Structures are given as C-alpha cells and as structure tokens.
Amino acid sequence: MPADDRDHGLFGPQSVTWRIMSEPVMWVAGVRALYLQALHPKVMRGTWQNSSFTQSEQAWGRFTRTIEYVRVRTFGTTPEVERAGRRLRHLHASLRGRDEDGREFSLAEPELLLWVHCAEICSEAEIARRSGVQVTAAELDEFVAEQRRSAEVVGLDRAIVPASMAELADYFVAMRPSLRACPEARRALRLSFVPRLPLPLVPLRLVVPPLNALAFASLPRWARQLYGAPAVPFTDAAVNAALRATFESTTRLPVIVPGAVAARQLMRDAA
C-alpha cells in the first residue's frame, strides 16, 4: 500500500509529534509528567485511591498500560485510537475520588483531564527542547497545537486546551496557586526512587532510579520546591547537560520506544 494511503491516525510522518515522540529520551519526559501531574491534589488523590502504588505488580501494570495508550494514541490507526479513547473515557467516568474535605469527585472532570494533558505535553516539549532534539520554537508550538487532538481523545474540548508554548506557560501560571505536594504525592515520589520491581523487570533496577532522578531534576524550580527540594544554583544547566548526553546516547535506540521503528521509516519515506 502506498505510504500516502495509509491510516496514520491522529498525526503521521510529517507531524512534529512523530519526530518528538519517536525519541527514546521521551521516557524521561514521561516520568517528569507523572511527577508534575502529582502536584494537583485532586489528581493525585484520585489516582492514589484507585491504584495500589505500594503493590509493584499493580503499579507497574498501570504504568505499562499508560505507555501502551500513549503508543496507540501517537502511532496507532484511527480505529485503534478511537477504541483506546473509548476505553479510557469509560474508565475515567467510572472512577471516583474523595477530597480531603470528604467530598467525592469524578476523575473525568475537565479540570483534572486538562491538568494531566498539559503536564504531559509540557514535559514532552520541554525535554525535547532541553535535550537537543532538532525542533525549532515554531515547531514546538506546532507540537502543542497538534496535541489538542490527543486532548479530544480523552473527552476535552480543544477550545480550552493550550495551543502553543506561551499558552501552556500561561496555564501553569494560573494553576500554580492550587498546586502542592500532598502526602500521597510525597509518598509516591519516595517510592519511585526505591522501586519495587516485579520479577520480569528486576534487570531495570539499576536504570530506573537515575532515570527518575533526572526526570525529577528536570522539573521547573517551583515544582521541585513544592516537593521540598532546595533550589540549588546551576542545577538547570547541569540537568540540560545530562539530558543532552542522554539524548545523544539513546537516539539510535528506537526499539525502546514502542512504534518508533515503523514511524521513523515512514518519516524517511515522506521526506
């Protein structure tokens, strides 16, 4: 089948999304997004109350399902994306959390979905920019705009979703007064640095802690401070150097990014 006639789902070989998301350094972005998402108390409490973070099999099962969802959303065909979206929307609609004051809330509330979306997309754009992925400022804006399609998959109205890096920055400025590291977020952070890996993943024990440490260090200073980490001078410059080294050392290993091998071939075909 000619490449132009294939169903590339939401994006495709000429999108900025495929170029960014096919890079292995996006694993750092994924973990960074989780740390950032956890700073919204309702998001963290709702996630904690519906997951078993202290049970390694369940925690890693949830993590691998998230990875698979991102793979399908990014590289899947239209029918695959639609099926994944229906499952996720149904799951969110069925889950409830309880706030500190005892009030119940739905995990499908637009405010919560928007925070999760923006934390992920900001993390991917920032890690791409800081690690040396070959994208311009205009292309990062294009990436953020493309990701409004991802937001629609989870049930958000694209009209309320940031469409540029500047709009993302404005969104975080508006959100900061409502953010904090609740006890669940602090406990999840601690657990991430001493991961209880299920038996099949034990070989990752040496890899996961430094990757998580890099992801945490790449958070904006205000986010690290909410977790209680000191604002150390030159940290950002050191993190940028580490991110660039990670990018350079992993960019030729697309096998660790599900869907990246085929995506890169299609991008070469479309060039």
pLDDT in tens, 89-105: 999 999 999 998 899 99
Average pLDDT over residues 115-142: 97
Residue 175 has pLDDT above 50, yes or no: yes
Residue 252 pLDDT greater than 80, yes or no: no
The answer to whether 226 and 172 are in contact (CB under 8 A) is: no
Average pLDDT over residues 199-219: 74
Residue 62: the pLDDT is 74
Interval 239-265 mean pLDDT:
71
Cβ-based neighbours of 120, under 8 Å, separated by 6 or more? 29, 30, 33, 37
More confident residue, 207 or 44: 44
Percent of the chain with pLDDT over 90: 68
Q: Which two tokens stand for residue 22?
A: 């096919």
Give Cα separations from 203 to 44, 54, 191, 196, 199 (angstroms): 28, 19, 18, 12, 9
Asked if the model's pLDDT at residue 145 lies above 80, the reply is yes
Mean pLDDT of the chain: 87
- What is the pLDDT confidence band of residue 67, given thresholds at 50, 70 and 90? confident
Q: Could you give the CA distance from residue 172 to residue 155 in angstroms, rounded to a whole number? A: 21
